[in-house]
Structure formats: C-alpha cells, structure tokens
Amino acid sequence: MKNNIYQLVYNTVKKIPSGKVTTYGLIAEKLRSVNKNINAHVVGWILHKNKSTDVPCHRVVDRNGRLAPNFAFNGAKEQKIRLEIEGVKFIDEMHVDLKRHLWT
C-alpha cells in the first residue's frame, strides 16, 4: 500500500505542466478519494523522499505559494531557479504568483 500512495503522488506531480505549480494540499485533495488519510504533510514527506528526476517536485509549493526551504540540493534557491527557467513569476523572494501559475 505504501508504494501505491507514493506512485499516486509522483504520478500526480508528473501531470503538472511546465510553468505551473500546485500545492501539497491540492495534491492531497485529489488523492483523498483513493486514500482518506492523505494530507498535505504526507504529500510533502513523500516528495521529500523522491529520488527520481522524472518527478518535477519543484512545481509543488505550500498553500501560500511559498517555496520549500528543504527542497533538494540548494533548498529554495534551487527550486526558484527551476521555476524561473519555466517562466514562473514571483511576488517576492519566496512566493510564487499563484494567481498566474496555479494548476488545479
């Protein structure tokens, strides 16, 4: 069962188009019909454990558009660089412009 929920999270994140972001909570909401115990924290924990470059974890932010301070490699700086390359705009150093870039 554990691997199934991991795959569900990873497969959902793979659907986020370049130039868009979604939130941990929205992913959890999408997957609750499959597993009622999933929440934003579980999604974050699963993504933190991801080792695959095929899963664009950099496209997932918190409910306020805030970058993940514990993102792989160079933390939020690396996440921001990857998003900027995709054309994502920010309202400040740590927050994505969700009005322009939120994928639901």
Per-residue pLDDT of 9-24, as tens digits, reads 999 999 999 999 999 9
Q: What is the pLDDT at residue 71? A: 66
pLDDT given at position 74: 72
With 60 as the cut, is the pLDDT of residue 1 above it?
no
What pTM, to 2 d.p., does this model score?
0.92
Query: What pLDDT score does 70 carry?
Result: 77
Walk me through the domains of the chain, giving residue ranges and CATH numbers: 2-101 (1.10.10.10)
Q: What positions carry a catalytic annotation?
A: 57
Q: Residue 18: what are its φ and ψ, rounded to 5°?
A: -55, 140
pLDDT tens digits, one per residue of 26-73? 999 999 999 999 999 999 999 988 889 999 999 999 999 999 887 666
User: Given a cut of 90, is residue 102 above it in pLDDT?
Assistant: yes
Q: Which residues contact 1 (CB under 8 A, 6 or more apart)?
A: none
- Transcribe the chain into DSSP letters: -HHHHHHHHHHHHHTSPTT-BEEHHHHHHHHTTT-TT--HHHHHHHHHH---TTS-GGGEE-TT-BPPTT-TTTHHHHHHHHHHHTT--EEETTEE-HHHHB--
